[in-house]
Structure 1
């Protein structure tokens, strides 16, 4: 005979774990998406609204290196 109380307790625990994981993913994912969305954004040329845009008279050094068949460009 099937013990329905035991099955309910087990499925309830599994559902609780799934619910907690879903809540954590929903809570953490948007901040992760925002970080990954804006972390690799370089300011475009003439982006005066960007806080990373150079100020008039400021010296900007651009370093270009080739590494593992990739071109790496750094400005700073």
Structure 2
């Protein structure tokens, strides 16, 4: 199962991470959700729609969006630094 990667905004602490992971994990079909606070991403495995994940994360009080090609390039460059 490929992971769905989303960028998140508004998270700044461990409590935020917990809220986002809990919200994403509650989406039907999700088997795992893991936030990387440094990169401001959430990686989700399972069988679900990105739009459902985004809605759940927004309901938890944070912004999220699918990672597009330019976002992926920035994250790749960051990983190499």
Coarse TM-score class (shorter-chain normalised):
under 0.3
Instruction: Say which one has the larger Rg.
Output: 1
Instruction: Judging by fraction of residues, say which structure has more helix.
Output: 1
Q: TM-score, normalised by structure 2?
A: 0.22
